[in-house]
Chain A
Amino acid sequence: MPPIKISATEKTEKGTFKKSMAKLIRYCKHEWLWFALSILLGAVAVVFQIIGPNKIQDITTKISVAIKFGLPMDIDGITQIALFLVGIYAASVLLSYMQNFITATVTQRVSKNLRLDISKKTNRLPLNYFDTHLHGDVLSRVTNDVDTIGQSLNESVGTLFSSILLFVGVLIMMFVTEWIMALTVIATTILGFGFSVVFMAKSQKYFNQNQKHLAEVNAHIEETYSGHNVVQLFNAKQQTGKEFDSINKKLFNSGWKSQFISGVMQPLMGFVGNFGYVAVCIVGAVLASKRGIEYIGVISAFMIYVRLFSNPLAQIAQCLTRLQSASAASKRVFEYLEAEELPDESDKTLVLGNVKGDVDFQNVVFGYNPNKIIIKDFSASIKAGQKVAIVGPTGAGKTTLVNLLMRFYEVNSGDIKIDGVSVKDIKRENVHALFGMVLQDTWLFEGTIKENLKYNNPAVTDQQVVDACKKVGIDHFIQTLSHGYDTVIDDACNLSAGQKQLLTIARTMIADNPMMILDEATSSVDTRTEVLLQQAMDKVMEGRTSFIIAHRLSTIKNADLILVLKDGDIVEKGNHQELLEKGGFYADLYNSQFEE
């Protein structure tokens, strides 16, 4: 197998941030109308939010003027303004909710499509991709990464645009109302933010440290818990305990610091607000003493502007951090979606239906990595109905041959022909349909036994299922289960490895492919179960060209042809008896299980 690539810890630099975001935006292209509508709704809501303080200011001015000059309260005027405000507030709630509703709908739809595309992509990727990437890696792209994208978009798209609009809107309104006060607010806010930015930059290292230490602690825990027996029996508890204490201590030190810093951010923002507030009051008072009583209204409006102005800035900063994680996640998702696919084969029209089962390997050369050839010039001619066993030490290329036969991988040079037709000339699906496979890993999915056996073959009747199970000798066992053939196979279901393997053999029998591949089908069961499996498999192989790969040599003694593979070459071929008499590599391998 080719080596697994473990992706290096990703860091989002500025370039990749832009690139990944651009990809994400392009992906959401056909949702642009909804995004535009959502932004528009947000914009209108912002306008209302800005009008609010102005109108409130009118009420306070009316009240204070009335009291100051002993005039009767202008109740009608105030009621009118208040009713107007009620309308505005109601409209603004409605609009923001509509905006949220649309954003939620669109982001969920985008997430759903991303997941679906990933799943579909899985079917179009060459097998090489999955042999070289960890399953967990693909899994976390489907769930974690897509979730991150969905959540970040949901929380930031609407807010980001509204915040920017609000920021600009308040800025304009402030200058329209009174420029000196506007400058006061801007100056205090910039001062406060400048301070926080410096503070955050200084503290970033604690966050990084904390992440690192957390990962170290987790790695240590995972390792010692998984090797618990060994740690205990080698009296290594003190040793591992000491290691743990030292990283736990490190985590504590960086942990409380980073927590402290992130906790202080909010009060700091609050202080910036209060600071601006005081500044507004003082500057306002100075101006009011010069300009008279009407100026009071301006002050009360600015008291609100100060809050409105510092909020969006904090929100924009928050959105950017969110989008940063969205970009990291979308980088991983698009990496997967853009991985090179299997070549398109829709132009191949040749179809191999009922084959006899002659298989020819002609000068096959192959390596997972072009620099490291695993199969060197492999040729063999197999006649229809023959049982062919492939043996050899680990790493000799046995499973690789199967990969090539099934076209899971493509040969570097040479050819494989079935009934004289090159497998390259027919579609992959066609090749797959020619072979039934039983593998070492007994793969069953969560579903009833019947569903598992009929797998992807709705035309199969229940009777056929029962017949197949009778043939492999598992019918009786299935009948004893509480729901018989409708028993659901899941984690809680206690099927032994042998029973599972019998089910996969029955599945293969039902699929009724013209040829068979058995790749280490009995390696994971004990030798007594193996006998049962062997009998079942013999039934499946009857009259079919079959390829058997086995670790235990006892299982292949009755093969028509044994190919002994070593370092990618056939070193010997013949049947069991011939090879033993020859006294070569096979005999050596075979006898080593008994010699002492």
Chain B
Amino acid sequence: MFKLLRNLKWIDYLFFCVMVGFIVLQVWVDLKLPDYMKAITNELFNETGTINMGVILANGGYMLACAVGSLGCAVVVHFFTANISSRLSFNLRGKIYNKIQNFSLTEINKFSTASLITRTTNDITQVQMFLSMGLACIIKAPIMAVWAILKILNTSWQWSTATAVAVGTMFLIIFFVVVLALPKFKKIQTLTDNLNRVTRENLTGIRVVRASNAEDFQNEKFEASNNAITKNNLFASRVMGIMGPGINLIMQGMSLAIYWIGAYIVKTSEGVSDMMVFMSYSVQVVMAFMLLIMIFILMPRALVSARRINQVLSTTDSIVSGSFMAESFDGKASVEFKGVSFKYPDADEYVLKDISFVANEGETVAFIGSTGSGKSTLINLIPRLYDATEGEVLIDGVNVKEYNLEALNRKIGYVPQRGVLFSGTVRGNVNFGDNNADEDTIKSAISVAQASNFVSRMTDGLDSAISQGGTNVSGGQKQRLSIARAVARKPEIFIFDDSFSALDYKTDRKLRTALQKHTASVTKFIVAQRIGTIKDADKIIVLDNGNMVGMGTHDQLLKTCGVYQEIALSQLSKEEL
């Protein structure tokens, strides 16, 4: 938490100091108020039997002034807390966003995308909420408590004892409630997850459930977790139900005690007004303590969030940009893998073992192998989504680690496994990032990607809107637009990470033909499942459990490589080979 507070700027500290000043002022005013009240009651209860309206009005005026002052201070204090906590969350959100933008896949996988999203949104909101509610309280409550206690300390030890007993009882009640209810609240989270899981299970498997006539079976499972969560909730809310009446009782009991004691110790009319003033101070004391306790109950949640944010911020980037700017941009590049091995950080087993090959300018290199054989990992090493653990990856003879990352990225046209689109327009998605393609380039890229047809059918053509995550186009269309995006970049190297699987055979073939025609000089890396997709590649590399078990053309491999034969046989019949 305190680490996060370092993200405050000098202006926040200035605001903070001013705020503390206003809080002290507010406490002073709040505690001054009973003095005027005392003057009024004194006047009302005086022995002479006549009431001087001037005194009442004057003190009433002061009292009102105090009330206005207190309100004014509160407004100023809230202005500052709202400002400080919002600015902190603004800064944090920006900082964590930028931090994550520079993460490599290693860091992303360490946290998982879903968790990073929660950390940037929900966790920051939690911290902000706590600060906005707690910041003023945490300063005000102790000042209030101490000051109010000082004010009443010398009045009467009997009354002070009554107040102390009230505070003590309150501590006890809250302690009791927290000890009983907190474990249940913690458990509720797990139980909710459980309930969610059973429900989701039923929904995702609805066809299987129906087909197996297993509705009652699922219902029983649901009932079990429903009952568990209800039992738990019930206990927690029954315990929490003590809080309200309990605190009410303390307040009422304390006032009664003060009056009751008053009957024994008050001897003068001065004493009567003392008693009333004591009442209002003691209420302040109890309230201040209650506030403090509440903060300590709310704090753990914010602390957890703060820790989760810090974890992200304190992660060191595993991938650091080099300085080589690669000025020569001739539209061609060669790529070489020299004894490359890779394992995930903290993992024991290698995902890739001693891979070496050369892709000459304009060549097409394809990778094939069963799931988990390391194909995608291998091509991810070229744009440094991961860094090789051993060995080196060279582009035009220079290690990729020495490239300036942006210069490296400019050489590469990357198409992910699943089409990724961003909200905006078709044009914005194809002409994405630092690419400044002209109209013709965009159009020809779309046509190469076999997307002209459906783009022209969209209402606004190139300027048609794409909704968040591209939900308004189909999976195959998304994939084709992702390909167009890579083509429009006019890269030196294409990377297709199993990008053709979502397309039907015909489109797949047409697209590859068009690519070959328009981008002949570009070096291409293709990960694929279908033999048909890669049959005519210049080099096919066969991977099995991270080992390179074969390299060559389709015909060569059919003769020499057992794994390749197996894969081919599973897809094609003997005659077709």
Contacts and interface: CB of A to CB of B under 8 A. Distances in A.
B256 A85 contact: yes
A107 B89 CA distance: 36
Q: Tell me which of B50, B120, B513 has the highest count of chain A C-beta atoms within 10 A of its own C-beta.
A: B120
Interface in A40-83: 52, 56, 59-60, 62-64, 67-68, 73, 75, 78-79, 82
Interface string A103-121: 1110111011001100110
A338 interface: no
B87 A252 contact: yes
A142 interface: yes
A278 B64 contact: yes
A225 interface: yes
B168 interface: no
A459 interface: no
Interface in B226-259: 226-227, 230, 233-234, 237-238, 240-242, 244-246, 248-249, 252-253, 255-256, 259
A263 interface: yes
B81 A97 contact: no
Interface in B14-48: 33, 37, 40, 43-45, 47
A85 B275 CA distance: 18
Contacts of B233: 108, 111, 150
A336 B541 CA distance: 53
Contact of B241 (A104, A456, A552): A104
Interface residues on A, range: 35 or more
B222 interface: yes
B117 A256 contact: no
Contacts of B227: 112
Contacts of A27: none
A75 B262 CA distance: 10
Contacts of B223: 116, 119
- Counting chain A CB atoms within 10 Å of each CB, the highest count among B108, B221, B276, B505 belongs to B505
Interface in A403-435: 406, 408, 428-429, 432-433, 435
Given A135-B203, A271-B68, A274-B33, A256 B414 contact: no
B213 A429 contact: yes
Interface string B412-445: 1010100011110000000011110000000000
Contacts of B245: 92-93, 96-97, 100
Interface in A84-103: 85-86, 89-90, 92-93, 96-97, 100-101, 103
B422 A223 contact: yes
B571 interface: yes
Interface of B is mostly: helix
A116 B196 CA distance: 13
Interface string B536-577: 100000000000000000000000000000110011110010
B329 to A, nearest CB: 14
Contacts of A589: 505
B203 A138 contact: yes
A452 B45 CA distance: 82
Contact of A443 (B205, B246, B509): B205
A285 interface: yes
Interface residues of B, number: 154
B113 interface: yes
A575 interface: no
Contacts of A240: 101, 422
Contact of B215 (A68, A107, A123, A235): A123
Nearest first, the 5 closest Cβ-Cβ pairs linking A and B are A234-B433, A100-B241, A267-B74, A236-B433, A256-B86
A344 interface: no
Given A60-B272, A78-B260, A526-B370, A408 B207 contact: yes
Contacts, number: 398
A207 B443 CA distance: 43
A229 B59 CA distance: 70
A231 B196 CA distance: 33
B204 A441 contact: yes
B53 A285 contact: yes
Nearest to B83: A256
Most B Cβ at <10 Å: residue of A270, A278, A284, A296: A278
B195 interface: yes
B571 A554 contact: yes
Given A219-B468, A435-B211, A497-B371, A263 B82 contact: yes
Interface hub of A100, A229, A244, A292 (most chain B Cβ within 10 A): A229
Nearest to B432: A234
B371 A226 contact: no
B113 A528 contact: no
B409 to A, nearest CB: 5
Nearest to A295: B44
Interface string B38-80: 0010011101011101001100100110111011001100110
A96 B248 contact: yes
A504 B241 CA distance: 48
A62 B272 CA distance: 11
A105 B241 CA distance: 11
Nearest to A56: B259
Interface in B297-328: none
A260 B505 contact: no
Interface string A242-254: 0011001101100
A82 B259 contact: yes
A418 to B, nearest CB: 15
A168 interface: no
A22 interface: no
